[in-house]
Structure 1
Amino acid sequence: MTDVRHTAGQQGEEHAAAHFEHLGFEVLARNHRTRFGELDLVAYDGRTLVFAEVKTRRSDGREPWENLHFVKQSKVRRMAIAWLTEAPERPFGAALRFDGVAVLVDTRGALIRLDHLEAAF
């Protein structure tokens, strides 16, 4: 991954984490590595445990949602199962959800738009 893409991804995840915190969630994990890949965000609001896949784009005309396809969704589910089995201190929420967060940033990393789709998959 190039430095520009990596930096944009980090900026998008920062914006997404702040968004979840604003909604009253505690961010439990960021960039958690599993044998299947890396979970972007795991958040908890006291009732619901959310696994969020964050897709970030610079303001280049392409939509962030383009890469949240079936294969990626399956991979996120496998990573979530791994996190659930590997995190002994995790909360036990009554509900579990997979959200998608699309973030559009400008060339300086400033937020242009953030779309949060609850229960995206």
Structure 2
Amino acid sequence: MTPDPALLEEDFLRASGPGGQNVNKLETAVQLRFRAAEAGLSERVWLRLRTLAGRRMTKDGVVVITAQAHRTRERNREDAMARLTELLAEASKPPPPKRRPTKPTRGSQLRRMDSKTKRGTTKALRGKPLSE
């Protein structure tokens, strides 16, 4: 799911970390803002997006993604867009099927109890011998 370009805003800022002479001159970090509240998402997708975004979503329903891993503005812009697209795709996935509780089979219960008995016997034999 690709976001609507009309709902996107890009801001460029100076990236933190090492950068040599360019660190104080170039604004290569990208802060991508997606106005999710105005995107017309379904209730299920909206709730899931809110959960997945966590602290990256503001109270106004704006998802903020900051990318500064790369040295160029273009690579950071692509990285931010890819991360936003991945977040929206994850939010729009259908919910997993409901779990149907099952009971262990009688055979597996017997095997489990048998192994517990054997293990307990092994441990009991490790003790000091009884002195008579």
Q: Tell me which interval the TM-score lies in, with the shorter structure as reference length.
A: under 0.3
Give the TM-score taking structure 2 as reference length: 0.25
Which structure exhibits the higher relative contact order, with contacts defined as CA atoms closer than 8 Å and separated by 6 or more residues? 1
In proportion to residue count, which structure has more strand?
Answer: 1
Work out which of the two has the higher radius of gyration on C-alpha atoms and give 1 or 2.
2
Give the TM-score taking structure 1 as reference length: 0.26
In proportion to residue count, which structure has more helix?
Answer: 2
